[in-house]
Chain A
Amino acid sequence: MQTLTFVKREVPYWTTGTVATPAGPVFRISTEWTRADTWGMVRSRTGAYRLNYAVTPGLYAIGNPADDSDVFVTANYKLTFDMLRRELKGMNAWVLVLDTKSINVWCAAGKGTFGADELIKRIADAKLDAVVKHRRIILPQLGAVGVNASVVQKKTGFRVIFGPVQACDIPAYVQAGYKKTKEMGTIRFSMLDRLVLTPMEINPAMKKFPWVAGGILLIFGLQPQGLLFKQAWLGGLPFLILALLAVFAGALVTPVFLPFVPFRSFAIKGWIVGVLSVFLALRFFEPVSTRDPILLIVAYLLFPALSSYIALQFTGSTTFTGMSGVKKELRIGIPLYIGAACLSLLLMTVYKLKEWGFV
């Protein structure tokens, strides 16, 4: 029966044949990336494609593994899986893929899907105790957030070793006799690491942008005689540009230049970059709306707050922010954001009343 279902399964393009195991044949996986893998990475790094970017869980082979070969455990997010198999080039090893619902190791460990229960189940399903004669499995270090190593050992007999944080350190780690250097055990978060995360900051923010733009145009276009397109466009355009800049200040500039922007608080970092962008924009573009001091105040009140709020969202993508810290930022930040928004609305009302000649 096992073989029958196996044959029916579609053969993924990243496999090169099969390897026989006591639990039936398993796919041998290629350690090369094709154009499809690169394109998949781009798509999953920029949008919703990531939600279904998955590999079938279970046991796979790298090269020609034997019963003394290492077992590497990973998530079934295809990008995670791809990064691992690329680094295992030239090795003979087993790869055990857990069902993490196409989520990376760290996030899945946080949710519990990359966890002891799932690992124990997969070890049993793959008959790992018959596939290999040793009793050790190597997990990515960040999997420790979800996997209690002692529970796994008690239930399966396999000793969990937490390997390097990043797959690219695996060859050096194996060469060194399974010894981790301090660097291998620490998360790095370079400018490039941060840059590749920004599309997922910009895209969600830009999805809400039409609402902000509509609101701005409505406020400026509203006249005693009705909605005037010319007023909306001429008056609203500078604010539209400022809003767009605020999005990029919070979602792109702040994340990329994170360590260089002063203060530890993300809200303050985002606010500083926001103020700077309003200042520079008003200097270089000299938008017409600055003729009124009320509009100038609103510009400095509202847009840095928007940038600050968006920058705060980046805490979800960083490697070093904790829940208690983010909660503290929100406790202080949210009342200030609401305050800034309400005050801006009040000032705009005064501005409109002045414009209409009521004040």
Chain B
Amino acid sequence: MKYLSNVTTLKYTRDTCTGCGRCVEVCPQRVFEMRDKRAAITDRDQCMECGACALNCEFGAITVNSGVGCAAAIINSMVTGGPPTCDCSDNSAGCCG
């Protein structure tokens, strides 16, 4: 299953990559693969901006504006002005299972 195309904020700079392979190890959507001893993006639209790759890239080759892709959380953040989080669980039993 794929979500909307051309919306992800994922940015990858091949020149900074050292080929350690962490991004391939952590991406649950197979956005990265190793090509010629460096990481390469397979399909950007598979990215769901979880941020695992950027957090674990020691060399700063990856950036992504990560956050929760949850409508309730984003609506909450629009109302309260804070960042979208999963903390919508005060009385509604929460969104996170």
Listed in ascending order, the chain A residues whose CB lies under 8 Å from chain B are 44-45, 47-48, 50-51, 103-104, 107, 109-111, 141-142, 144-150, 162, 165, 180, 182, 185-187, 189, 197, 200, 203-204, 207, 258-259, 264-266, 312-313, 315-330, 334
The one of B52, B68, B87 in contact with A144, judged by C-beta atoms closer than 8 angstroms, is B52
Task: Let me know if A265 and B30 touch, CB within 8 A.
Answer: no
Task: Let me know if A320 and B29 touch, CB within 8 A.
Answer: yes
Q: Does B85 contact A (CB under 8 A)?
A: yes
Task: Let me know if A324 and B8 touch, CB within 8 A.
Answer: yes
The one of A107, A204, A266, A324 in contact with B92, judged by C-beta atoms closer than 8 angstroms, is A204
Q: Using Cβ atoms and an 8 Å threshold, which residues of chain A touch B56?
A: 144, 147-150
Interface size class of B (residues with CB under 8 A): 35 or more
Name the CB-closest residue of B to A44.
B97
Q: How far is the CA of A103 from the CA of B87 in the complex (A)?
A: 11
Task: Let me know if B94 and A141 touch, CB within 8 A.
Answer: no
Assuming the A-B contacts A144-B26, A145-B50, A207-B92, are A316 and B68 also in contact, with contact meaning beta carbons closer than 8 angstroms in the complex?
Answer: yes
Task: Let me know if A325 and B69 touch, CB within 8 A.
Answer: yes
Name the CB-closest residue of B to A312.
B71
Q: How far is the CA of A96 from the CA of B29 in the complex (A)?
A: 26
Q: How many A-B residue pairs lie within 8 Å, measured between CB atoms?
A: 156
The one of A162, A265, A324 in contact with B26, judged by C-beta atoms closer than 8 angstroms, is A162
Task: Let me know if A322 and B96 touch, CB within 8 A.
Answer: no
Task: Let me know if B68 and A110 touch, CB within 8 A.
Answer: yes
Task: Let me know if B5 and A264 touch, CB within 8 A.
Answer: yes
Closest Cβ of chain B to A108, distance in Å, is 8
Task: Let me know if A203 and B29 touch, CB within 8 A.
Answer: no
Assuming the A-B contacts A107-B86, A185-B28, are A264 and B95 also in contact, with contact meaning beta carbons closer than 8 angstroms in the complex?
Answer: no
Task: Let me know if A316 and B30 touch, CB within 8 A.
Answer: no
Name the CB-closest residue of B to A112.
B85
How would residues 47 to 76 of chain B score, 1 for a CB under 8 Å from any chain A CB and 0 otherwise? 111111001101000000111111111110
Q: Using Cβ atoms and an 8 Å threshold, which residues of chain B touch A147?
A: 55-56
The one of A51, A107, A144, A323 in contact with B74, judged by C-beta atoms closer than 8 angstroms, is A323
Name the CB-closest residue of A to B58.
A150
Q: Give 10 A-B contacts (CB < 8 Å), ordered by A residue.
A: A44-B97, A50-B94, A103-B86, A148-B55, A150-B56, A182-B30, A313-B95, A323-B74, A324-B7, A326-B70
Closest Cβ of chain A to B2, distance in Å, is 6
Pairs A-B, 5 closest by C-beta atoms: A316-B70, A107-B96, A144-B26, A322-B49, A144-B52
Task: Let me know if A322 and B30 touch, CB within 8 A.
Answer: no
Task: Let me know if A328 and B7 touch, CB within 8 A.
Answer: yes
Assuming the A-B contacts A165-B28, A316-B68, are A203 and B4 also in contact, with contact meaning beta carbons closer than 8 angstroms in the complex?
Answer: no
Q: Using Cβ atoms and an 8 Å threshold, which residues of chain A touch B69?
A: 315-316, 318, 321-323, 325-326
Q: How far is the CA of A110 from the CA of B51 in the complex (A)?
A: 9
Q: How far is the CA of A334 from the CA of B2 in the complex (A)?
A: 22
